[in-house]
């Protein structure tokens, strides 16, 4: 479906709404990149109203602010190439709407809910506005449950909350997207839910690779993919998360299904907001970010929750600029999360994949009354052993292992075995590694770590624990 079809659909909706009256029209008076000013002499369009400019290439706008009694400032969702002053602007008297329902499964969409996978139009008349209010407090589901992923390091040390938000933090090239692809595969094959992937500022190459990977894994029929690609205007990248959330909320509220919402990358949402803010001429805040960063992020995050009907569980990749965790975009995102999974460049360089930083990752779900006493106790012992190894690394590099006490030597050996046991081959990387992917249940992880800490594997080479599933594979 082209943008023209989308516009005509919106216009026909407006015409019927106004009993055949003519559309409210205005004129383009200024164009600055993706920001367009339009003058109306009739009634002024409301904020968040969708406007269209019909020229050689139709342009879809959204009203951001009222400048005076006749002029609105708008954000363009499509390219403004060829747009000139004097062009006619039509008020659609409605916000941007997107299709929802089962017809979306197995398909790929842009911000407008238009298919971009060359498989034809969507067979549904059910559409919803991309702007929905967050769930009221009395509908929240207060019970805390864990959503297991089959990934050892996550399930043991940073369990994900059902209906909660987990962040994947890491710089460029440490494996955020690969981990997200494996999570999609595991979640759809283990839990009979819907996976919804939202790509904000994705490279076209990554989108195509992900589509093929999901298709090859046989989980495409339960997956919806929405992309605001890197080459699209900042407006499209800024609003694509709202589109994905509207689709996810329909599955949760109307069909009472659990939804796994994966966002890659939430930092690009913040970046698009900073671009929009700069184009609007607003004064920047710290490090060049927009002053409205906190509220814009909250608009998205507060819509992700667990209700009595179902749950939207979100896993969000967060790019960390220059590996600086004090960056405002990172600290604002942290505030919304129930689990945080930090990816380490050092572990990636050692070939320990997934490259999860075992000491700095964590979750509010890791407590005795939620995970159980045994799980909690073993997780704490694992962190304690790894922390001891971290403290001894400087001594080992200067003086060697021989200078350590017998107890310290044992702790180091067990920590190295734990590090290797918490690596795991992924199904999505099988073509590169030649190793078949393994998903491990949480009981298998807890038992394996307990046996290593107790010294049962002290005589077994640490290499045998590398890239395995359950601990029994090391013995075999």
- Residues annotated as catalytic are 176, 202-203
Q: State in Å, rounded, how far the first CA of the chain is from the last one.
A: 55
Cβ–Cβ under 8 Å, residues 257 and 187: no
Contacts of 86 (CB under 8 A, 6+ apart): 27, 28
Tokens 């009739």 correspond to 42
DSSP states along 137-160: GGGB-----EE--S-HHHHHHSPE
Residues 6+ apart with CB under 8 A from 51: 26, 38, 45, 60, 61, 62, 63, 72, 74, 89, 90, 91, 92
Residue with tokens 């909690």: 376
Residue 216 CA to residue 213 CA, distance in Å, equals: 5
393-400: long-range contacts at Cβ-Cβ below 8 A with a sequence spacing of 24 or more? Answer: none
DSSP 45: P
Nearest Cα neighbor of 61 from 96, 113, 87, 27 is 96
Contact 253, 128 (CB under 8 A): no
Contact 157, 379 (CB under 8 A): yes
Could you tell me the two tokens for 438?
């393994």
Task: Find the helix or strand (DSSP H, E) in which 315 lies.
Answer: strand 312-319
Token pair, residue 91, equals: 């008020």
Going by C-alpha positions, the residue among 179, 187, 313 that lies closest to residue 245 is 313
The H or E element spanning position 396 is helix 373-399
Beta bridge partners of 99: 127
């Amino acid at each position: 479906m082209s943008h023209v079809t989308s516009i005509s659909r919106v216009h026909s909706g407006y015409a019927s709404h106004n009993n055949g009256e003519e559309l409210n029209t205005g004129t383009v008076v200024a164009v600055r990149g993706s920001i367009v000013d339009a003058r109306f002499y009739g009634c002024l369009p409301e904020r968040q109203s969708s406007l269209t400019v019909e020229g050689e290439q139709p342009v879809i706008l959204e009203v951001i602010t009222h400048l005076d009694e006749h002029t609105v400032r708008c954000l363009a969702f499509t390219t403004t190439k060829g747009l000139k002053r004097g062009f006619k602007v039509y008020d659609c008297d409605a916000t941007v709407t997107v299709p929802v329902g089962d017809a979306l499964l197995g398909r790929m969409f842009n911000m407008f809910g238009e298919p971009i996978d060359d498989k034809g139009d969507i067979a549904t008349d059910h559409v919803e506005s991309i702007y929905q209010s967050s769930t009221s407090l009395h509908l929240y589901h207060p019970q805390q449950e864990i959503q297991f992923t089959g990934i050892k390091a996550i399930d043991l040390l940073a369990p994900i909350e059902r209906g909660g938000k987990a962040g994947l933090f890491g710089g460029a090239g440490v494996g955020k997207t690969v981990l997200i692809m494996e999570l999609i595969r595991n979640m759809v094959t283990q839990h009979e839910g819907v996976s919804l992937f939202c790509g904000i500022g994705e490279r076209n190459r990554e989108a195509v690779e992900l589509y093929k990977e999901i298709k090859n894994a046989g989980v495409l029929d339960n997956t919806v993919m929405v992309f605001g690609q890197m080459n699209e205007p900042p407006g499209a990248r800024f609003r694509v998360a709202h589109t994905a959330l509207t689709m996810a909320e329909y599955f949760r509220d109307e069909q009472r299904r659990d939804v796994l919402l994966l966002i890659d990358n939430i930092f690009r949402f913040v970046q698009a907001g900073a671009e929009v803010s700069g184009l609007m001429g607003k004064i920047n805040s710290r490090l060049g970010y927009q002053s409205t960063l906190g509220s814009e992020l909250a608009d998205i995050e507060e819509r992700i929750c667990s209700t009595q009907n179902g749950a939207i569980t979100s896993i969000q990749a967060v790019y960390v600029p220059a590996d600086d965790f004090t960056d405002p975009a990172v600290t604002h995102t942290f505030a919304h999360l129930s689990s945080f999974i930090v990816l380490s460049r050092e572990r990636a360089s050692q070939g320990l994949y997934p490259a999860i930083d075992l000491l700095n990752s964590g979750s509010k779900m890791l407590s005795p009354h939620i995970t159980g006493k045994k799980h909690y106790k073993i997780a704490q012992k694992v962190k304690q052993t790894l922390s001891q190894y971290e403290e001894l690394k400087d001594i080992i590099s200067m003086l060697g292992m021989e200078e350590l006490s017998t107890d310290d030597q044992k702790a180091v050996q067990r920590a190295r075995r734990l590090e290797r046991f918490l690596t795991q081959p992924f199904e999505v990387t099988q073509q590169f590694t030649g190793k078949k992917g393994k998903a491990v249940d949480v009981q298998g992880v807890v038992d394996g770590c307990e046996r290593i800490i107790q010294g049962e594997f002290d005589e077994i080479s640490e290499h045998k624990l590398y890239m395995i599933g359950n601990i029994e594979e090391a013995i075999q």
